[in-house]
Amino acid sequence: MTTLLTGLIGSGIGFSLSPVMHEREAAVLSHELRYDLWDLHALGASPGDIGDLLLRARDAGYRGLNITHPCKQLVLAHLDTLSPDAAAIGAVNTVVIGEDGLAGHNTDWTGFRRGLVDGLAGAPLDRVVLVGAGGAGAAAAYALLDLGTERLDVVDADPDRAARLAADLDPYRVRGGRLTELPTLLGHAHGVVHATPVGMADHPGQAVPGNCLRPDLWVAEIVFRPLHTALLAAAAEAGAVFLDGGRMNAHQAADAFRLFTGLEPDPSRMYAHLRELVAPEVSRAPLSGALSPNPIERM
């Protein structure tokens, strides 16, 4: 059986869970798949080299690559086709390599959407506050609008970025604002989505004040390492229902896996894999195989 070659391009990805998640799911489905890490620093490459790296992957026989920070926008200029959602969001996190060239997709938004529907079924979505207007925030915003959110307030440390996202997506339903407005906006919201790095292991803290949370305000987290962030602990203390970032991550991985392989993955199983991998994290050792300076050398 021919091994399907896939991977991830980004910076600082040595601790990514994607190789284990994709390779485990492929094994369960009796499929040979290898998922490599193309870390820009390890390769001696810069974000501007994303086009050359894609061509190297194509020439080496790769079926597809996930794309993460800082290349989700830079990759757009090097693709032959874009899915409508990726074009609307302005970011790509999955590139499928085929006979027709390089096709860009965004599974961040579908991952967030599916995770929200799975984990917070029936939650009111009419009025939501989004904290963070970066790539993850844009994907979450697109998903919320697709689910029928009537009013989405986006706040960001850079108010201009929040305003641009609002204008690009839907100036009638989306409004850009400042972080200082957060307490007031949350007072009128049904839910809040956190989409900044705050709360990650390397960025400790809490972007949404605990005293703004309440039992009838649901909380959705993008961060999944750690799986239970300070924000989710505060949500639990306030009696609010909440969604961890692992569901989005598992669903986006499942959607990318489907694009790469044509097989039907089990997102629930991939979420269970992720929880198993994250739970015992007490060291900083990579959870996947050793990071090669050049993934092509592993062929």
DSSP annotation of 49 reads G
Angle 7-12-17 (CA atoms, 0-180°, nearest 5)? 50
Has 72 been annotated as catalytic?
A: yes
Question: What is the identity of the amino acid at 262?
Answer: G
Q: Let me know: does 238 contact 210? Beta carbons within 8 Å.
A: yes
Angle 117-252-230 (CA atoms, 0-180°, nearest 5)? 70
The dihedral built from the CA positions of residue 169, 174, 177 and 183, taken in this order, carries a sign that is negative
User: 133-149: buried (b, 16+ CB within 10 Å) or exposed (e) per residue?
Assistant: bbbbbbbbbbbbbeeeb
User: What's the rounded Cα separation, in Å, for the pair 131 and 145?
Assistant: 15
Retrieve residue 278's tokens: 């994250």
Burial class (CB in 10 A: 0-12, 13-18, 19+), 17: buried
- Residue keyed to tokens 């924000």: 231
Which of the residues 72, 113, 114, 273 is marked catalytic?
Answer: 72
The dihedral built from the CA positions of residue 206, 268, 137 and 217, taken in this order, carries a sign that is negative
User: β-strand 94-98 against 64-67: which pairing, if any?
Assistant: antiparallel
How many residues belong to the chain?
299
DSSP annotation of 152 reads E
Note the Cα 132 to chain centre separation in Å: 13
Known catalytic residues? 72
